[in-house]
Chain A
Amino acid sequence: MANIFPKWSNTAPIQIVICLCLAVGTVVAGVTYYATPKYLRVGYQPIQPVSFEHSLHVDQLGLDCRYCHTFVDRSEHSNVPAASTCMNCHSLIKTDSPKLAPIRNSYESGEPVPWVKIHRTPDYVYFNHSVHINRGVSCVHCHGQVNEMEEVYHAKPLSMAFCLECHRNPENFIRPVDEVTNLTFSYDSREEQIEQGTKFVHDWKVNPPQSCSGCHR
């Protein structure tokens, strides 16, 4: 009696299982890797109307973040400065630089400079800048080393997992309030960070919400 099944069918089931595992595994790995803000948002670096160099103004000149983003410590929104803020200095410095033409035009006409927004959370997320700034969460935690950026880009994922990492263990991140705008500050060791952080959490009664409505409305 001839064999009903050819010889290769002996290994067929195991081959099918291997192929399926490989296919499903690859899709899962691909989605995990690509379908998160770590891939979709990190690295976003739009072309701005004026190539403002944070590294020059912060690192070289030593300007504080709040010289321009003045109301970040008392408002939910970190303001982009008006052209008049640039003109405080640029009415005298580099007055005929072509790069600054949009600023001068805006200052004279009153039309806004069309800056491109880089960091954007979904509209149902109510992130309040001042609350974080006044409780020792530094700019650098969410925006990366802006002081070293020639051109600003999206440095951190700002996903919900990212927020919760700190909301669950704020002591791992928070620092003295007067070091918040010092983007190069860090404790010498992780132990010191946790020790000091735990103290701040206690002293300032830091209680970051982990309930939905704490941030989503």
Chain B
Amino acid sequence: MRIFLAVWLFVVVATVSILGFRGEKFRKPPIWLFPDMDIQAKYLPQGQNEFFADERNDRPMVPGAVLRGYNWDVKEVFDGEYEFAKAENPSAWTGKDESGEFIKEIPIEVTYDLVQLGQEKYTIFCQPCHGRVGDGNGITKKYGMAATPTYHDDRLRDMADGEIFNTITHGKNTMFGYGMKLNPEERWAVISYVRALQLAQNATVEDVPEQHRKELGL
């Protein structure tokens, strides 16, 4: 009995000292205790693939590929009646009219929902540099991003919506393009929100509807 207890104690102490406790940090890849079919020969998003020279599963877009199904209603896209959205309203994809001029107005319907979507996307993607109210005083200014312009001058108030669209899509000066992160509708939504910011920052008491003035203490 004594011998058994001694061995038992030794085994327990040895196990705990080798394996440690739950939640301890470790660097080596975790062990799959029952690997069964946990790791299959299939391609996962952003995974590795020895077959290609760059070892990427996700293939870069082939030049000239036609964009299809990007965040669109799948049922609509695969419906026989479906008309290619880009052909229907080309300005919504380029920000330009037929003659190549920047369009002056947002080519899709501006609703309250669209502005709200714009606010959401603005907060995620634009606010870090352009600031909450679009004055160019985002958090990055503290860290050396000095040249962010304010939206609240005549140059940007009078800028055609299409040109802003072009800037969001392709970037400008030190700003990189956000076309990969925002689809066209979201880009127009951001523009609608930027316009709302411009109005809000350049407004007088008269612009506030009568019934809301009290709420603001005006």
Question: Do the two chains bind?
Answer: yes
Given known A-B contacts A93-B140, A123-B38, A44 and B26 have beta carbons under 8 A apart? yes
Asked if B38 and A122 sit within 8 Å, CB to CB, the answer is: yes
A contact residues around B104 at 8 Å (CB): none
Given known A-B contacts A79-B45, A123-B38, A123-B40, A44 and B29 have beta carbons under 8 A apart? yes
Scan B1-33; emit 1 where CB is below 8 A from any A CB, else 0.
100100010011001000100111111011101
Asked if B139 and A42 sit within 8 Å, CB to CB, the answer is: no
Asked if B140 and A45 sit within 8 Å, CB to CB, the answer is: no
A163 within 8 A of B: no
A206 within 8 A of B: no
Assembly CA distance A194 to B180 (angstroms): 39
B174 within 8 A of A: yes
Asked if B27 and A47 sit within 8 Å, CB to CB, the answer is: yes
Tell me the residues in window 37-83 of chain A with beta carbons closer than 8 Å to chain B beta carbons. Answer: 38-47, 61-64, 66-67, 70, 74-77, 79-80, 82
| A96 CB to nearest chain B CB (Å) | 12
A contact residues around B143 at 8 Å (CB): 89, 93-94
| A134 CB to nearest chain B CB (Å) | 13
Assembly CA distance A18 to B175 (angstroms): 73
| A63 CB to nearest chain B CB (Å) | 6
Given known A-B contacts A87-B176, A93-B143, A111-B54, A40 and B31 have beta carbons under 8 A apart? yes
Asked if B128 and A89 sit within 8 Å, CB to CB, the answer is: yes
B159 within 8 A of A: no
A contact residues around B33 at 8 Å (CB): 35, 40
Given known A-B contacts A40-B31, A44-B29, A92-B145, A67 and B22 have beta carbons under 8 A apart? no
A contact residues around B44 at 8 Å (CB): 77, 123
Assembly CA distance A34 to B24 (angstroms): 12
Could you say which interface size class chain A belongs to?
A: 35 or more
A26 within 8 A of B: yes
Given known A-B contacts A64-B123, A89-B145, A39 and B12 have beta carbons under 8 A apart? no
Partner of B22, one of A39, A61, A63: A39
| A207 CB to nearest chain B CB (Å) | 21
Partner of B26, one of A23, A45, A66, A88: A45
| B163 CB to nearest chain A CB (Å) | 20
| B104 CB to nearest chain A CB (Å) | 28
A contact residues around B128 at 8 Å (CB): 61-63, 67, 89
Scan A90-105; emit 1 where CB is below 8 A from any B CB, else 0.
0111100000000000
A contact residues around B4 at 8 Å (CB): 19, 22
B contact residues around A70 at 8 Å (CB): 181
A contact residues around B45 at 8 Å (CB): 75-77, 79
Assembly CA distance A33 to B15 (angstroms): 12
- Interface residues of chain B, those whose CB is within 8 Å of chain A, are 1, 4, 8, 11-12, 15, 19, 22-27, 29-31, 33, 36-40, 42, 44-46, 54-56, 71, 120, 123-125, 128-129, 139-140, 143-145, 174-176, 180-181
